[in-house]
């Protein structure tokens, strides 16, 4: 039986053109970018061309783009630097952030380095911007606001410009985890009021183990990883050469295909919603799926029955890949902190389906047929 892969928010398949761009750097162009002979200079040039390409696609300056090991390192770096280097003594976040953010802000709070407040959520899972303004206005300390651009489990999208303007008004630092949106939406960082954003190659058909951190040119921070002088003294360690080449190529392809791909993937999401409503009684959707939402993610709650409690296991047996929430917590048995925060209903089981350009309506039909048996 063919496998149906509906977990693209966890990771995506590597695009063949990306692999092709990376291959020479696995084989013949293997020089260390820090070496001064020609092999090294070739590699250095490739890294800097990738940086220029990424910067151009995000409308940023190349000096604002730093390559990392992924979204988690990027968020850790930005949040820690805001507290230790930029004087933020009060962190404002939300309870539905990715653990890369949540665990970092909790660590800094428990370490006594910053106060921590959580902004209220509206019933549909969106951040309450009035409450955010209240927290900023009441704070006596300089604030770091860290709120994700799009939630990886329910798909809700933040109004990044509105939050950025509020941060400007109250002289706060703004970090946004954009791992689910870089490569899925166009960015214009020249005209977006944000200090830090993050990206991960494997979320848009690039390689795993490589990410980026955008640091606005007006922000000066110290390195998070110490050692060599790589990434303009900002991130020590030999560069992930082929990863960086792959990241830039994947972002280039994603940007070129944005109009066509986003509209096709959105049609799959809407089609699945319609088919589930038509075929399964008591089904509901989390977040704001047809409003300000990621076109790639659909979070579905099914009525809890003896059968449906084992739903992820049974989908897996039937060669269907989906997740109960974030992939980073799929091994933990306490379920999703995001779903608990917005829909704490013990009589429901939640599955996240997430789509890419390779999925089809025929696959959705197969999954819906299988779900009818399993629920």
**Residues tagged active-site:** 328
Report yes or no: 326 and 336 within 8 Å, Cβ to Cβ. Answer: yes
Q: What DSSP string describes 301-357?
A: EEE--TTGGGHHHHHHHTTEE-BSS-GGGTT-TT--HHHHHH---TTEEEEEEE--T
Cα dihedral 366, 305, 332, 181 sign: positive
| Cβ-defined contacts of 306-315 (< 8 Å, 24+) | 307/374, 307/375, 308/349, 308/374, 308/375, 309/349, 311/349, 311/351, 311/371, 311/374, 311/375, 312/351, 314/374, 315/351, 315/367, 315/370, 315/374
CA triple 11-338-145, angle to 5 deg: 90
The Cα 77–Cα 88 span in angstroms is 14
Cα–Cα distance, 80 to 78 (Å, whole number):
6
């Amino acid at each position: 039986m063919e496998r149906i892969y509906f977990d693209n928010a966890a990771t995506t398949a590597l695009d063949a053109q990306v692999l092709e761009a990376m291959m020479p750097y696995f084989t013949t162009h293997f020089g260390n970018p820090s070496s001064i002979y020609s092999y090294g200079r070739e590699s250095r040039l490739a890294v800097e061309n990738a940086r220029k390409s990424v910067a151009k696609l995000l409308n940023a300056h190349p000096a604002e783009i730093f390559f990392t090991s992924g979204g988690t390192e990027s968020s850790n770096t930005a949040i820690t630097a805001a507290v230790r280097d930029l004087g933020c003594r009060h962190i404002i976040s939300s309870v539905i952030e990715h653990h890369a953010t949540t665990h970092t802000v909790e660590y800094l709070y428990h370490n006594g380095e910053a106060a921590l407040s959580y902004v209220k959520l509206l019933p549909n899972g969106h951040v309450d911007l009035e409450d955010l303004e209240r927290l900023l206005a009441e704070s006596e300390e300089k604030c770091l606001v860290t709120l994700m651009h799009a939630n990886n489990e329910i798909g809700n999208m933040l109004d990044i410009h509105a939050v950025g303007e509020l941060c400007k008004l109250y002289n706060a630092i703004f970090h946004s985890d954009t791992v689910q949106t870089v490569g899925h939406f166009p960015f214009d960082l020249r005209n977006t009021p944000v200090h830090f954003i993050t990206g991960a190659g494997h979320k848009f058909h690039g390689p795993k183990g490589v990410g980026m951190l955008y640091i606005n040119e007006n922000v000066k921070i110290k390195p998070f990883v110490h050692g060599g002088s790589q990434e303009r003294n900002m991130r020590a360690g030999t560069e992930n050469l082929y990863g960086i080449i792959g990241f830039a190529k994947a972002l280039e392809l994603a940007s070129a295909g944005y109009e066509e791909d986003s509209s096709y993937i959105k049609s799959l999401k809407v089609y699945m919603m319609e088919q589930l409503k038509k075929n399964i009684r008591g089904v509901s959707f989390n977040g704001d799926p047809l409003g300000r939402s990621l076109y790639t993610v659909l979070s579905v709650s099914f009525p809890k029955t003896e059968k449906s409690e084992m739903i992820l296991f049974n989908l897996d047996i039937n060669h269907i890949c989906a997740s109960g929430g974030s992939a980073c917590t799929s091994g933990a048995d306490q379920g999703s902190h995001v779903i608990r925060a917005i829909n704490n209903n013990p009589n429901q089981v939640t599955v996240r389906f997430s789509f890419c350009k390779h999925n089809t309506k025929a696959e959705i039909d197969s999954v819906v047929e299988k779900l009818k048996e399993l629920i």
